[in-house]
Structure 1
Amino acid sequence: MHNLADIDYITPYLWAWGIGGVIGSFSIGALIDRTGRPGLLMAGILAILAFAMFSLPFGLKFPILAFLPFVLWGAMGWASQAPQQHVLLHLQPNHGVATVALNSSANYLGSAIGSALGGIVMLAGLAPSQLPFTAGCLVLVTLLGQLIIIAKK
Protein backbone atom coordinates (compact mmCIF):
# COMPACT_ATOMS: atom_id res chain seq x y z
CA MET A 1 0.00 0.00 0.00
CA HIS A 2 2.86 2.33 0.78
CA ASN A 3 4.48 1.67 -2.60
CA LEU A 4 1.21 2.13 -4.47
CA ALA A 5 -0.17 5.28 -2.87
CA ASP A 6 2.03 6.24 0.07
CA ILE A 7 -0.52 4.72 2.49
CA ASP A 8 0.88 3.71 5.85
CA TYR A 9 -2.34 3.12 7.80
CA ILE A 10 -3.93 0.03 6.24
CA THR A 11 -6.51 -0.85 8.89
CA PRO A 12 -9.49 0.67 7.02
CA TYR A 13 -8.56 -1.32 3.91
CA LEU A 14 -8.31 -4.53 5.91
CA TRP A 15 -11.76 -3.76 7.33
CA ALA A 16 -13.10 -3.28 3.79
CA TRP A 17 -11.58 -6.62 2.74
CA GLY A 18 -13.11 -8.32 5.79
CA ILE A 19 -16.54 -6.79 5.25
CA GLY A 20 -16.38 -7.97 1.65
CA GLY A 21 -15.48 -11.45 2.90
CA VAL A 22 -18.54 -11.54 5.14
CA ILE A 23 -20.76 -10.41 2.26
CA GLY A 24 -19.28 -12.98 -0.12
CA SER A 25 -19.39 -15.92 2.26
CA PHE A 26 -22.97 -15.21 3.35
CA SER A 27 -24.37 -14.59 -0.15
CA ILE A 28 -22.72 -17.26 -2.30
CA GLY A 29 -24.82 -20.16 -1.01
CA ALA A 30 -28.07 -18.48 -2.03
CA LEU A 31 -26.60 -17.70 -5.45
CA ILE A 32 -25.57 -21.32 -5.96
CA ASP A 33 -29.03 -22.51 -4.91
CA ARG A 34 -30.76 -19.95 -7.13
CA THR A 35 -28.70 -20.54 -10.27
CA GLY A 36 -27.65 -24.16 -9.89
CA ARG A 37 -24.55 -23.28 -11.94
CA PRO A 38 -21.53 -23.22 -9.64
CA GLY A 39 -19.09 -23.39 -12.56
CA LEU A 40 -20.53 -20.28 -14.14
CA LEU A 41 -20.62 -18.54 -10.77
CA MET A 42 -16.97 -19.42 -10.30
CA ALA A 43 -16.16 -17.81 -13.66
CA GLY A 44 -17.99 -14.67 -12.54
CA ILE A 45 -16.14 -14.70 -9.23
CA LEU A 46 -12.81 -14.94 -11.03
CA ALA A 47 -13.72 -12.15 -13.46
CA ILE A 48 -14.68 -9.82 -10.61
CA LEU A 49 -11.57 -10.82 -8.67
CA ALA A 50 -9.37 -9.99 -11.68
CA PHE A 51 -11.12 -6.63 -11.98
CA ALA A 52 -10.48 -5.97 -8.29
CA MET A 53 -6.78 -6.80 -8.61
CA PHE A 54 -6.25 -4.64 -11.70
CA SER A 55 -8.27 -1.72 -10.33
CA LEU A 56 -6.66 -1.71 -6.88
CA PRO A 57 -3.69 0.54 -7.79
CA PHE A 58 -5.90 2.99 -9.67
CA GLY A 59 -8.69 3.06 -7.10
CA LEU A 60 -6.32 4.15 -4.35
CA LYS A 61 -6.14 7.58 -5.98
CA PHE A 62 -9.82 8.23 -5.19
CA PRO A 63 -10.63 8.42 -1.45
CA ILE A 64 -14.01 6.66 -1.31
CA LEU A 65 -13.54 4.41 -4.36
CA ALA A 66 -10.26 3.18 -2.88
CA PHE A 67 -12.17 0.71 -0.72
CA LEU A 68 -14.18 -0.91 -3.55
CA PRO A 69 -11.38 -3.18 -4.86
CA PHE A 70 -10.78 -4.41 -1.30
CA VAL A 71 -14.47 -5.15 -0.73
CA LEU A 72 -14.62 -7.01 -4.05
CA TRP A 73 -11.39 -8.87 -3.33
CA GLY A 74 -12.67 -10.02 0.06
CA ALA A 75 -16.11 -10.94 -1.25
CA MET A 76 -14.84 -12.93 -4.21
CA GLY A 77 -12.05 -14.57 -2.26
CA TRP A 78 -14.37 -15.84 0.44
CA ALA A 79 -17.11 -16.75 -2.05
CA SER A 80 -14.80 -18.93 -4.13
CA GLN A 81 -14.81 -21.92 -1.75
CA ALA A 82 -18.52 -22.75 -1.89
CA PRO A 83 -18.79 -23.34 -5.66
CA GLN A 84 -15.75 -25.63 -5.49
CA GLN A 85 -17.24 -27.57 -2.61
CA HIS A 86 -20.62 -27.77 -4.32
CA VAL A 87 -19.10 -29.38 -7.42
CA LEU A 88 -16.91 -31.73 -5.39
CA LEU A 89 -19.85 -32.88 -3.27
CA HIS A 90 -21.85 -33.48 -6.44
CA LEU A 91 -18.99 -35.55 -7.92
CA GLN A 92 -18.28 -37.50 -4.71
CA PRO A 93 -21.51 -37.70 -2.68
CA ASN A 94 -20.36 -40.74 -0.71
CA HIS A 95 -17.07 -39.15 0.34
CA GLY A 96 -18.21 -35.61 1.11
CA VAL A 97 -16.27 -35.08 4.33
CA ALA A 98 -12.97 -36.28 2.86
CA THR A 99 -13.53 -34.38 -0.37
CA VAL A 100 -14.22 -31.07 1.37
CA ALA A 101 -11.28 -31.63 3.73
CA LEU A 102 -8.93 -32.30 0.82
CA ASN A 103 -10.22 -29.23 -1.00
CA SER A 104 -9.60 -27.11 2.09
CA SER A 105 -6.11 -28.52 2.44
CA ALA A 106 -5.41 -27.83 -1.24
CA ASN A 107 -6.55 -24.22 -0.82
CA TYR A 108 -4.29 -23.70 2.20
CA LEU A 109 -1.38 -25.36 0.41
CA GLY A 110 -1.98 -23.07 -2.56
CA SER A 111 -1.96 -20.05 -0.26
CA ALA A 112 1.35 -21.14 1.25
CA ILE A 113 2.94 -21.83 -2.13
CA GLY A 114 1.61 -18.54 -3.52
CA SER A 115 3.05 -16.62 -0.58
CA ALA A 116 6.41 -18.31 -1.00
CA LEU A 117 6.48 -17.64 -4.75
CA GLY A 118 5.45 -14.04 -4.15
CA GLY A 119 8.35 -13.60 -1.77
CA ILE A 120 10.75 -15.22 -4.24
CA VAL A 121 9.71 -12.97 -7.14
CA MET A 122 9.97 -9.93 -4.89
CA LEU A 123 13.48 -10.98 -3.86
CA ALA A 124 14.23 -11.33 -7.57
CA GLY A 125 13.24 -7.70 -8.11
CA LEU A 126 9.46 -7.45 -8.56
CA ALA A 127 8.35 -4.19 -6.97
CA PRO A 128 5.57 -4.50 -4.37
CA SER A 129 3.53 -2.05 -6.44
CA GLN A 130 3.43 -4.67 -9.22
CA LEU A 131 1.85 -7.37 -7.03
CA PRO A 132 -1.78 -6.45 -7.86
CA PHE A 133 -1.03 -6.66 -11.60
CA THR A 134 0.78 -9.97 -11.16
CA ALA A 135 -2.10 -11.34 -9.09
CA GLY A 136 -4.60 -10.08 -11.68
CA CYS A 137 -2.73 -11.91 -14.43
CA LEU A 138 -2.74 -15.14 -12.41
CA VAL A 139 -6.48 -14.77 -11.82
CA LEU A 140 -7.00 -14.29 -15.58
CA VAL A 141 -5.10 -17.54 -16.26
CA THR A 142 -7.35 -19.26 -13.72
CA LEU A 143 -10.42 -17.73 -15.37
CA LEU A 144 -9.28 -19.09 -18.71
CA GLY A 145 -8.99 -22.55 -17.15
CA GLN A 146 -12.48 -22.22 -15.67
CA LEU A 147 -13.90 -21.17 -19.04
CA ILE A 148 -12.28 -24.22 -20.65
CA ILE A 149 -13.88 -26.44 -18.01
CA ILE A 150 -17.29 -24.85 -18.67
CA ALA A 151 -16.89 -25.23 -22.44
CA LYS A 152 -16.16 -28.97 -22.13
CA LYS A 153 -19.45 -29.64 -20.35
Structure 2
Amino acid sequence: MPRIMCFDYGNKRTGIAVTDPLQMFATGLETIHPKDIIDYVKKYLLTEQVELFVVGEPKQTDGSPSQTAQNVKGFITILKKNFPSIPIAMMDERYTTKLAAAAIAQSGMKKAAHKDKYLIDTVAATIILQSYMEKKSLGF
Protein backbone atom coordinates (compact mmCIF):
# COMPACT_ATOMS: atom_id res chain seq x y z
CA MET A 1 0.00 0.00 0.00
CA PRO A 2 1.39 3.43 -0.87
CA ARG A 3 2.24 6.00 1.77
CA ILE A 4 0.76 9.41 2.51
CA MET A 5 3.22 12.31 2.66
CA CYS A 6 2.55 15.45 4.68
CA PHE A 7 4.04 18.93 4.55
CA ASP A 8 4.05 21.62 7.21
CA TYR A 9 5.00 24.34 4.73
CA GLY A 10 6.78 27.50 5.80
CA ASN A 11 8.75 30.20 4.00
CA LYS A 12 11.97 29.26 5.81
CA ARG A 13 11.45 25.58 6.66
CA THR A 14 9.07 22.79 5.69
CA GLY A 15 8.54 19.80 7.92
CA ILE A 16 7.85 16.51 6.16
CA ALA A 17 6.21 13.36 7.54
CA VAL A 18 4.99 10.11 5.99
CA THR A 19 2.87 7.16 6.93
CA ASP A 20 4.10 3.62 7.08
CA PRO A 21 3.03 1.46 4.08
CA LEU A 22 -0.09 0.28 5.95
CA GLN A 23 -1.02 3.90 6.72
CA MET A 24 -1.33 3.25 10.43
CA PHE A 25 1.43 5.49 11.81
CA ALA A 26 2.82 8.90 10.95
CA THR A 27 6.58 9.36 11.18
CA GLY A 28 8.59 12.53 10.76
CA LEU A 29 11.15 12.47 7.95
CA GLU A 30 12.91 15.80 8.23
CA THR A 31 12.69 19.55 7.79
CA ILE A 32 14.15 21.13 4.68
CA HIS A 33 14.30 24.51 2.97
CA PRO A 34 11.25 25.12 0.74
CA LYS A 35 13.42 25.48 -2.39
CA ASP A 36 14.60 21.87 -1.92
CA ILE A 37 11.16 20.23 -1.56
CA ILE A 38 10.55 19.19 -5.17
CA ASP A 39 13.97 17.56 -5.54
CA TYR A 40 13.52 15.86 -2.15
CA VAL A 41 10.12 14.43 -3.13
CA LYS A 42 11.36 13.30 -6.55
CA LYS A 43 14.22 11.42 -4.88
CA TYR A 44 11.85 9.93 -2.28
CA LEU A 45 9.47 8.73 -5.00
CA LEU A 46 12.28 6.74 -6.61
CA THR A 47 12.11 4.27 -3.71
CA GLU A 48 8.63 4.73 -2.20
CA GLN A 49 5.09 5.04 -3.52
CA VAL A 50 2.98 7.98 -2.31
CA GLU A 51 -0.73 8.05 -3.05
CA LEU A 52 -1.60 11.37 -1.41
CA PHE A 53 -0.02 14.60 -0.26
CA VAL A 54 -1.45 16.28 2.83
CA VAL A 55 -0.61 19.95 3.28
CA GLY A 56 -1.11 21.82 6.51
CA GLU A 57 -3.64 24.60 6.05
CA PRO A 58 -2.71 27.71 8.04
CA LYS A 59 -5.71 29.29 9.75
CA GLN A 60 -6.38 31.93 12.37
CA THR A 61 -8.01 30.83 15.61
CA ASP A 62 -11.40 31.92 14.19
CA GLY A 63 -10.93 29.60 11.18
CA SER A 64 -10.15 32.29 8.64
CA PRO A 65 -7.01 31.92 6.46
CA SER A 66 -3.81 33.15 8.09
CA GLN A 67 -1.26 35.47 6.53
CA THR A 68 0.76 32.53 5.18
CA ALA A 69 -2.21 30.91 3.40
CA GLN A 70 -1.23 32.50 0.06
CA ASN A 71 2.26 31.00 0.31
CA VAL A 72 0.75 27.57 0.95
CA LYS A 73 -1.50 27.96 -2.11
CA GLY A 74 1.60 28.71 -4.19
CA PHE A 75 3.29 25.61 -2.78
CA ILE A 76 0.26 23.49 -3.69
CA THR A 77 0.38 24.84 -7.25
CA ILE A 78 4.04 23.77 -7.49
CA LEU A 79 3.20 20.30 -6.11
CA LYS A 80 0.37 19.87 -8.63
CA LYS A 81 2.64 20.95 -11.50
CA ASN A 82 5.45 18.56 -10.55
CA PHE A 83 3.33 15.61 -9.35
CA PRO A 84 0.02 15.82 -11.25
CA SER A 85 -0.96 12.21 -10.52
CA ILE A 86 -0.79 12.61 -6.72
CA PRO A 87 -3.90 14.20 -5.18
CA ILE A 88 -3.59 16.81 -2.43
CA ALA A 89 -5.66 17.11 0.74
CA MET A 90 -5.63 20.03 3.15
CA MET A 91 -5.58 19.62 6.93
CA ASP A 92 -6.04 22.34 9.54
CA GLU A 93 -2.66 23.03 11.14
CA ARG A 94 -3.80 25.33 13.94
CA TYR A 95 -1.78 24.83 17.14
CA THR A 96 0.42 22.08 15.68
CA THR A 97 3.64 24.02 16.25
CA LYS A 98 2.71 24.56 19.90
CA LEU A 99 1.71 20.91 20.25
CA ALA A 100 5.01 19.86 18.67
CA ALA A 101 7.04 22.06 21.03
CA ALA A 102 5.12 20.68 24.02
CA ALA A 103 5.66 17.08 22.87
CA ILE A 104 9.39 17.69 22.51
CA ALA A 105 9.53 19.31 25.95
CA GLN A 106 7.74 16.34 27.51
CA SER A 107 9.90 13.79 25.69
CA GLY A 108 12.84 14.23 28.01
CA MET A 109 15.08 15.61 25.27
CA LYS A 110 17.75 18.12 26.19
CA LYS A 111 16.67 21.75 26.43
CA ALA A 112 18.44 22.62 23.17
CA ALA A 113 15.98 20.35 21.34
CA HIS A 114 13.05 22.34 22.75
CA LYS A 115 14.09 25.31 20.60
CA ASP A 116 15.22 23.36 17.53
CA LYS A 117 12.89 24.80 14.90
CA TYR A 118 13.77 22.07 12.41
CA LEU A 119 12.73 19.37 14.88
CA ILE A 120 9.59 21.29 15.80
CA ASP A 121 8.56 21.53 12.11
CA THR A 122 9.14 17.80 11.56
CA VAL A 123 7.05 16.95 14.63
CA ALA A 124 4.36 19.42 13.54
CA ALA A 125 4.13 17.69 10.14
CA THR A 126 3.78 14.37 11.96
CA ILE A 127 0.95 15.77 14.11
CA ILE A 128 -0.84 17.14 11.02
CA LEU A 129 -0.55 13.76 9.29
CA GLN A 130 -1.69 11.83 12.34
CA SER A 131 -4.70 14.17 12.65
CA TYR A 132 -5.51 13.61 8.98
CA MET A 133 -5.38 9.82 9.42
CA GLU A 134 -7.62 9.99 12.50
CA LYS A 135 -10.13 12.17 10.66
CA LYS A 136 -10.07 9.79 7.69
CA SER A 137 -10.64 6.75 9.92
CA LEU A 138 -13.71 8.45 11.39
CA GLY A 139 -15.12 8.92 7.89
CA PHE A 140 -14.73 12.69 7.55
TM-score if structure 2 supplies the norm length? Answer: 0.31
TM-score by length of 1: 0.29
The higher radius of gyration belongs to: 1
More helix per residue: 1
Higher strand proportion (structure 1 or 2): 2
